[in-house]
Amino acid sequence: MLIKEFLRRYNLNPESIVLCLFAAFSFFSIAGTQIALGLAFLIYLARHFRAKSISGQKCGLELLLAGLFIWALLSSAFSVRPAESFIHLKHLLLIATIYLLADQTRSKQSIRIFVGVWLASAAIISLVGLLRYLAQDTLKVMATQSTTMTWAAMLVPATTVSFVLLFALPASSKIKSLLAIAAVLQLIALFYSFVRGAYLGFFAGVGFVLLLRKPKLIFALIAAAALAIWLAPESLQTRFLSIFDLNSATTQVRLIQWRHAFEMIQSHPIFGFGWVDLGALHREMIPADPAMPTIIARDVFYIGHFHSNIIMWMMIWGLPGLVLMLVFFARITQLEWQAFRSHPDPSFEAALALGCLGSLAGYFVTGLFDWTFGDAETVTILWITVGLALRDSADGTQ
């Protein structure tokens, strides 16, 4: 009886329950995330099939998505290894997450429950990662992920949304104390991931929101960042300041790879090489410099990607594919800004749309320095924020 009363009170149907599982799994289990996502789609399709009507939510991305899918298929057909490239295109199917969430979180209640579960999951997994780090079980906070880069790229959007909600919601909001706890846990976990691109992504996301809403506070953000670095433990200070050290080994790896990428793409400028592991191709096309330190050469030539979304879009889909992706993200930015403007401000919906807009900027900046678009875990988090921002609410506002 208690369970039935709870489900009735919060109007929880099978779709919303599975979506909550999807939100909860998204930060710690890719298997759980994709199973829950698959179930959500099956339930959605079953309901519409029974109603003899499958009417999907339109988000304003359809034309660009069609062009992107067509170009991805063409580039795979002309790939150096077509079969491998076609298989990797399965990652693009995760874009459907945008449409599922845009359709299934239309009511005020459903959006609040989903976001609450999603941010709570991020905070709890951040705490788990921090406890493992304090217990010296890991050298850096990576939560339940296999690498710190993946974890940090996943955490940037959630941390950005948490902070924007915290400061954009009215002072009377009952959830601000919980948001403060979640935001602090996420930010500390993000810092102790020691991922410099994620540092830049978080500050870029929050900074972008301030530029749009309160540009004078940019100086306060810079001052806060400087104070945080000054007060931080030596390990964090060293990592922060290494952002500006072009001679750092990991920075050198990226600079060398990017230079090689521009040399390689000259032979395949239109369709690129396809979505394939580029390690062997890299070693074949660019002779290794014998004078290059072993620790740098290993990462330069034996990692199958080039540590940047922009560089990788160019490599796998050619220059037209890169332009398509940049236009696609520009269009999402435009639509998310329109979504924010369509809600009364201040309100939860307006603050969420603004947070999602900041998280998009943060994800994009983080992806300048790593191949985050190639990770199902990180790109799923991105599509969650886009779907939440582009939803049509039950009262007719976006």
Angle at 113 between CA 170 and CA 373, to 5 degrees: 95
Burial of 376 (0-12, 13-18, 19+ CB in 10 A): middle
* pLDDT band, residue 11 (cuts 50/70/90): low
- What is the reported pLDDT for 138? 86
Which of the pair, 393 or 105, is modelled with greater confidence?
A: 105
Burial of 262 (0-12, 13-18, 19+ CB in 10 A): exposed
Q: What is the CA radius of gyration of the chain?
A: 21
Of 24-33, 51-60, 270-279, least confident by mean pLDDT is 51-60
Which tens digits make up the pLDDT trace of 359-374?
Answer: 999 999 999 999 999 9
Cα(339)–Cα(346) distance, rounded to whole angstroms? 14
- What is the reported pLDDT for 22? 95
Burial of 83 (0-12, 13-18, 19+ CB in 10 A): exposed
* pLDDT band, residue 169 (cuts 50/70/90): confident
Contact assessment for residue 190 and residue 163, using Cβ atoms and an 8 Å cutoff: no
Contact assessment for residue 178 and residue 184, using Cβ atoms and an 8 Å cutoff: no
CA-based nearest residue to 356, from 178, 98, 124: 98
Which tens digits make up the pLDDT trace of 150-163?
Answer: 999 999 999 999 99
CA torsion through residues 208, 213, 217, 221, sign? negative
Is 50 exceeded by the pLDDT of residue 396?
no
Where do the structural domains in the chain lie, given as residue ranges?
62-246+307-389
Is 70 exceeded by the pLDDT of residue 306?
yes
- What is the reported pLDDT for 395? 46
Is 90 exceeded by the pLDDT of residue 397?
no
Q: What percent of the chain lies above the pLDDT cut of 70?
A: 93
- What is the reported pLDDT for 161? 97
- What is the reported pLDDT for 394? 41
- Per the structure block, which two tokens stand in for 121? 């999951």
- What is the reported pLDDT for 26? 96
Question: Structure pTM?
Answer: 0.93
Distances (CA, A) of 76 to 128, 321, 375: 40, 12, 19
Cα(26)–Cα(382) distance, rounded to whole angstroms? 11
Contact assessment for residue 274 and residue 252, using Cβ atoms and an 8 Å cutoff: no
SS (H, E, C) the chain: CHHHHHHHHCCCCHHHHHHHHHHHHCCCCHHHHHHHHHHHHHHHHHHHHHCCCCCCCCCCCHHHHHHHHHHHHHHHHCCCCHHHHHHHHHHHHHHHHHHHHHHHCCCHHHHHHHHHHHHHHHHHHHHHHHHHHHCCCCCCCCCCCCCHHHHHHHHHHHHHHHHHHHHHCCCCCCCHHHHHHHHHHHHHHHHCCCCHHHHHHHHHHHHHHHHHHCHHHHHHHHHHHHHHHHHCCHHHHHHHHHHHCCCCHHHHHHHHHHHHHHHHHHHCCCCCCCCCCCHHHHHHHCCCCCCCCHHHHHHHHHCCCCCCHHHHHHHHHHHHHHHHHHHHHHHHHHHHHHHHHHCCCCCHHHHHHHHHHHHHHHHHHHCCCCCHHHCHHHHHHHHHHHHHHCCCCCCCCC
- Mean pLDDT value of segment 87-102: 94
